Structures are given as structure tokens and as C-alpha cells.
Amino acid sequence: MPHEITDAKIKFIEERAREIRVNIIKMLTEAGSGHSAGSLGTADIFAAFYFHILNHDPKKPLWEDRDRLILSNGHICPARYAAMAISGYFPEKELWTLRKINSRLQGHPHRSDLEGVETTSGPLGSGLSQAIGVALSAKLDNKRWRTYCILSDGEHNEGNHWEAVMFAGKNRLNNITAFVDRNNIQIDGYTEDIMPIEPLRDKYISFGWHVLEVDGHNLYEIVAAANESKAIYEKPTAVIAHTIPGKGVSFMENDYLWHGKVPNGKEAKLALEELNKKK
């Protein structure tokens, strides 16, 4: 279960996040398609979940009392796959099958193909609704495990998402925590140019949520937010995690053009050199 974190554990998770980023570059280059910016930007969040926050067992992916992690913006699945492989759900060599025919690692996660993936994701704006269904099942069965949902800021353009926000607030689903990847980009540009979603914090509060804001690359803050969400008994919690798209690769950072673009051979070499210098 989540607990106070030591400096040594932080360093361990930071190294796992770096490995996740390295594998993301290799996976996307091998596949020749996919999403670079959001995958790299959420590496710290996925590392925090798989190596500290989640109550889970990679050797027993269907363990009944595990916490559930729902990924709404499925296109950033390379980050999740890399975290799962490093934590022991499947061999790391399988990462190089990303997006290939008959691979368990599709471009959007498919629940029945890979144990440890809780839901099939793809249609943006649907993940929180799926997570709410999972959280409700825990309530009905009097289970103590928690449901976490990772979602993007761009999918806040979807009406279905806000219906879910209202439903969770109205029903006081205190066993669900949503982590919003607030990286300010979507496929066509910057979120506040395409369809502004601010004031995001105030919107969640108005629908009855407890809201926290963190640096999405600060592991202390990520873990502290997950811990605090467990202590909120009267409402669901939204954690707005401010991240840098393309984090760790300087020429990708904060450039929305890398949302759905992958590096070519030369770019991948430069990216890997930069990431490996951070060991």
C-alpha cells in the first residue's frame, strides 16, 4: 500500500522512469508509428504507480485485491507497457513487438490480450466512465482496493468525460483517484488554442471533487498526492499533474508536433544518447 517514501526509493524510481523512456524510444522506432510526447511525459507517473503506489503483484495480475489502474488516453500505452515489463508482467523483449500483427502490445491497450491491462482503451473521453464502473463494483462488494485513472487534458473536450465527472461527484466515489496529464498539447496544437479547458481545477471542484495539483515529474509530489487521496472520505480526488510533453528528450519537449510522431533512426540515436547521459 502507499506509504511515506524514502530518498533511496525515489532514486530507484527515477532510474526506472529513465529506463521507461529509453524503452519508449526503442519501441516507437521499431514500430515506426505511435505517440512520443505523451508517452515520454508520463514516464514518471507510471514509474511511481508500478514501483510504489499500486498494491499489485506482477506475478498474479488477476489477484482479486489488487488496485486497478485504468488508462483512458490509450495512445500513451508505450509508457505503461514499458513500466509493466520492467516490473515483471512480461519479458522486456516483448516490447519490441509493439503495434505488430498478433502482438499483445497493440497501439491501444486490449484487455483480453494482456493480463494486467484492466480495460480496452482508445475512444478518448471514455476512460473515467470505465473507471467509475470499476470503482462502483468495489463499493458494491465492500472491497478496499482503489481505482486510479490516468487521462489526458485534451480529452476534456469530450462531453462524455464531464458526465462521468458529475456522476462521480454526485455519488461521492471516494475510492477513485483521477490523474490528469496536464501537458497542454493535443494532436492539432496547444489545448488552450484548440478548445480551452481552464479553469480546470475550479471545474472539478464545482462538480464535487477534491483537487490537487502537482509537478508530474516530481515523484515526492506524485506519491504524496496518491497518499492524500486515500485520506479523502467524502468525495473523489483529481490530481492535475503538470507535465512536459516529450520530457527527457530536449528536441521533443513542449512541441505538439511530437504528439503522434515517432523519431527516425538519427533522432532516436540522439534521444537515446541524451537519456543515457542521465544515468
Residue 1 falls within a domain, yes or no?
no
Residue 2 falls within a domain, yes or no?
no
Residue 214 falls within a domain, yes or no?
yes
Would you say residue 1 has pLDDT above 50?
no
Residue 15 falls within a domain, yes or no?
yes
Enter the pTM of the model: 0.97
Residue 82 falls within a domain, yes or no?
yes
Residue 57 falls within a domain, yes or no?
yes
- Own/partner contacts of 191-194, CB < 8 Å, gap of 24 or more, are 191/153, 191/154, 194/154, 194/157
d(CA 76, CA 47): 14
Domain range spanning residue 266?
7-276
Residue 134 falls within a domain, yes or no?
yes
Q: Compute the C-alpha angle 209/2/211, nearest 5°.
A: 15
Residue 77 falls within a domain, yes or no?
yes
Structural domain count of the chain: 1
CATH number of the domain where residue 208 is located: 3.40.50.970
Tens digit of each residue's pLDDT (9 = 90 or more) over 150-170: 999 999 999 999 999 999 999
Alpha helices (runs of H) in the chain, residue ranges in sequence order: 7-31, 37-41, 43-48, 77-87, 127-140, 159-170, 191-194, 200-206, 219-230, 265-276
Tens digit of each residue's pLDDT (9 = 90 or more) over 30-87: 999 999 999 999 999 999 999 999 999 999 999 999 999 999 999 999 999 999 999 9
Tens digit of each residue's pLDDT (9 = 90 or more) over 201-212: 999 999 999 999
Name the amino acid, one letter, at 259.
Answer: H
d(CA 102, CA 61): 21
The string over 69-108, giving b where at least 16 C-beta atoms fall within 10 Å of a residue's C-beta and e elsewhere, is: bbbbbbbbbbbbbbbbbbbebbeeebbebbbeeebbbbbe
